[in-house]
Structure 1
Amino acid sequence: MSSVLSVNIGVLRVVPWTQSMGSTGIDKRPVAGRVRAVGDGLESDVIVDTKNHGGYDQAVYAYAREDAEWWEAEIGRELSNGAFGENLTVQGVSCTDAVIGERWRVGSTLLEVSRPRIPCRTFAGFWDVPNLVKRFTQHGAPGAYLRIIEEGDVGAGDAIEVVGKPAHGVTIGEVFRALTGDRSLAPRLLEAPELPAALHERAHKMLTPASRR
């Protein structure tokens, strides 16, 4: 059964390895009880870099425990729930194969798969793995950002029910590969109307001959 293993909320960290902000909310830690999902995120979650994180299209970030276990074997250490900066650590559901616009009923909320996460240097600093961005990109399991369609609350143990899946079939994995270098997938992005407008704009630029020089 697909379910939520933990709900993770960010704590403010003042550190030297952020890209430019001097502080970060990437350190997400499991919390007890239920958490409200409202507006553009989870209540009490810390988001420092609001230009690149949070907002309607990146309200909740989910990462699969199965993918975390792959990374544990890869780097030779345990990774706690929240180690990817995810709000929801999930199991039994593939974030990479989730279709853009797919809807999940979780607790009393309705969430919609919106886009993949693109790794940054802050993520590498958080793990203290200098080449992590390159390795994360090569592995291609980026996790899924979710919109909050219906506000409600979520908690550990909640079942994840996929209640709708668009026919276009464009997945998180395909979008991630397109955004990280595979221009051949750019047309696929335009087939998914549920993607953020900014990603459609990037797809159009990738398909423009002048942008290929």
Structure 2
Amino acid sequence: MRAHYRAAGLDESDVADDPYEQFARWFADAARSGMMEPNAMVVSTADRAGRPSSRTVLLKSYDHRGFVFYTNYESRKGRDLAVNPYASLLFPWHGIARQVIIGGAVTRVGRDETVAYFRSRPHGSQLGAWASEQSAPIGSRAELEQRYEELAARYPEGEAVPAPPFWGGFRVEAETVEFWQGRENRLHDRLYYTRKGEGWTLQRLCP
């Protein structure tokens, strides 16, 4: 199967000097397109031996400090980032024939920021963060649901749920950002930002 792209092009004169600003423009386009969860991104990490793994998570915030997502620190990605604190993020906006690929160093967000975000989550999601030992083996679905029901009885709707100490945010500080626009005859546009001191350089890559 092969899609035939006929989208408008991406020219150096049309993009922002700063990739965070350019990301904001494209993110707004993706949101307006009506696609489901434009903040869904594939996060790729590698363990101490360099073995990669990928999964889809949701971007929760971004600014000039980086791109933030939340997870269990004991999950596979959390363990990877503890020993190899670098990640790649991929936004696969297939519906508008665009991709954004971000690479950079990863740090944990401050605890106050994590707690503030945790309190903004739906009650059920707060309980789910406690119930699931993310990436750990579990005997059955029933066991997972029993953990959840026990927590729901302990923290009924309307009662504050504390943020788990093993759960929090990671921030990816961009070192490289690629904007990919699908074009006709597989001659796609690829504009690639690289961090240079306090600024950025911009290159066009071959498709």
Normalising to structure 1: TM-score of the pair?
0.24
Structure in which a larger fraction of residues adopt strand: 2
Between structure 1 and structure 2, the one with the greater Rg is 2
TM-score by length of 2: 0.24
